[in-house]
Structure 1
Amino acid sequence: MNNNVAVITRMVIEAMEKQEASKNSENGYMVPIGVSGRHVHLTQEHVEELFGKGYQLTQKKELMGGQFASNEVVTIVGLKLRAIENVRILGPVRKGSQVEISKTDAIKLGVPAPIRESGDIKGSAPISIVGPKGVIYLKEGCIIAKRHIHMPPKDASLAGVVDGQEVSVIADNERGTTFNHVQIRVDDSFTLEMHIDTDEGNAANIRTGDTVRIIK
């Protein structure tokens, strides 16, 4: 009897999930927004070059996917020796260092930063990073982050999308902005959130915590 109840319960849950997925596919899946400011990712070697031998990043705020905003900040310097101060480092340390900025930042710094997925830095713009104990120069590593949506597998299933897929997203506010070429990223460690940069947020009158709707 108990087995029958368990089977029936599972069948009901699966039917409800399919119905919800169908509804979401028709009406568009709602996603909260996170507006991402300029930031830096560093290797441990570069952390030590900038802050001193043996230095470890310290956590200021926990982020999704095991990442965190650190207490440490640096100055980034472009090709025309124009600088932006107090750029936050995100941890933990990575295998490769990179700087993520907006188009407005790129113009100010005088760097030809391409739009790339995080981690795709081959052939990207050069930039210097200045810390309290030293300076590093990256021949490549400065990018404008491609807009994307983080999703755990359950949300991806309900939205009817898969990892790596590109979708369009609508912000139903007074600006009525549509974002195209939004990449889906799926991982168990993610929480549901779309990431855009400050230029995109300002242009569309979107703030962190607002919601948008996926359309395919």
Structure 2
Amino acid sequence: MIRLIGYFFGIGTTLALIVAAGVAIYISHLAKDLPDYEVLAKYEPPVTTRIHASDGSLMAEYARERRLYLPIQAVPDRVKAAFLSAEDKNFYNHPGIDVTGLGRAIIVNLQNFGSGRRQVGASTITQQVAKNFLLTSDQTYERKIKEMILAFRIEQAYSKDRILELYLNEIFFGFGAYGVAGAALTYFDKSVNELTVAEAAYLASLPKGPNNYHPFKHAD
């Protein structure tokens, strides 16, 4: 009996090693073709051109992407907290991948399998930076693995505040607004510093799907 158990244990161990080796080779292959994450250090997004009169009053704005770049030091803590709460509660603690959140998402998706419900994602803010700046939005496992590898590398190269700054200035909020400063002006005609907790919470809900919270189509 003991000999039989040892036999099956040996087979299981061998199969596990073969699978692990296959996964390692596959990941190594994907890692060879990854884009250069160092371009994030030279990030210069398109911003709104503003024309002022001689008295300083705003006359006109021109932009394909309505964006005002905002350093992370200028973003109020309540606005940062709103986005972290909505997108990545463990942002300042994980190494690029939130293992706890990923496990929770897998369990929820297995429970909802076949129900027609939309799958729950577990992308961290760092992963979203990797996707938005360096990858496509293709819904494939290959893209997801590349996103995770890049997230680890980005975390090693940049501070958490820099990563959050990139995220808050790049994301799309609907109505042609990009970045949290542009969104604050577009939706509330306010600077980021003037946003209330409720307004900050509303903006934080938009990146996942701006049309889901359209202020005119879905006012309720």
Sort the TM-score into its range (normalised by shorter chain): under 0.3
Q: Which has the higher strand share?
A: 1
Q: Which has the higher helix share?
A: 2
Q: Greater RCO between the two (CA within 8 Å, min separation 6)?
A: 1
